[in-house]
Amino acid sequence: MPTDFRRILRLLLDHDVDFIVVGALSSVLQGAPVSTFDIDIVHERSRDNVDRLSQVLAELNARYRGPGDRESAPDPEGLMGKGHHLFETDAGPLDVLGEIEEQFSYEDLLDDSVELDFDGRSVRVLSLARYVDFVSGSDRPKDQARLAVLRETLDQTDDD
């Protein structure tokens, strides 16, 4: 089943969850011709926001993915922390991250994010320049394979 990015983003916005789209989807939303199969977000970790996020996860029938985790529901207390929560949902994979690069929280990334129009509403995404910075420092093969395309896209957007 392909990931229904629109459904996930709409639900997050409908529930007023404070989040930033990070990962490859952030670059796709800014015009990079790359592929991704999941959505990665960094969320603001206040109690109220985690409660709203938990409602979205329930509506998406989210379950932790990984060996032996398929029946495990999201843990709201765990979502308050810095860790990564990798879910399979009825709309596809959703990675909910307390931080990225082991140090950058929602608040840390706000200045490195941009607001884009999404179906007439505003969605916050990691800037393409910042995403390129993160990918440049990665040793993951899939990140390195995308790097030239990401840099070219960034160069083209800087020229506009």
Residue 51 confidence (pLDDT): 97
Residue 74 confidence (pLDDT): 87
Residue 158 confidence (pLDDT): 76
Residue 1 confidence (pLDDT): 66
AA letter at 109: L
CATH number at residue 127: 3.30.460.40
End-to-end, the C-alpha distance of the chain in Å comes to 36
The whole-number average pLDDT for the span 28-44 is: 95
Range of 88's domain?
A: 5-159
Sign of CA dihedral 130, 31, 148, 156: negative
Using an 8 Å Cβ cutoff, are 32 and 148 in contact? no
Lowest mean pLDDT across 22-31, 61-70, 109-118: 61-70
| Number of domains the chain contains | 1
3-class SS letters over the chain: CCCCHHHHHHHHHHCCCCEEEECHHHHHCCCCCCCCCCEEEEECCCHHHHHHHHHHHHHCCCEECCCCCCCCCCCHHHHCCCCEEEEEECCEEEEEECCECCCECHHHHHHHEEEEEECCEEEEEECHHHHHHHHHCCCCHHHHHHHHHHHHHHHHHHHC
Q: pLDDT digit string (tens) for 55-111? A: 999 999 999 987 665 568 888 899 999 999 999 999 999 999 999 998 999 999 999
**Per the structure block, which two tokens stand in for 121?**
């509403």
Task: Answer whether residue 160 shows pLDDT above 70.
Answer: no
Lowest mean pLDDT across 11-15, 31-35, 42-46: 31-35
Backbone angles phi, psi at 71, to 5 degrees: -100, 0
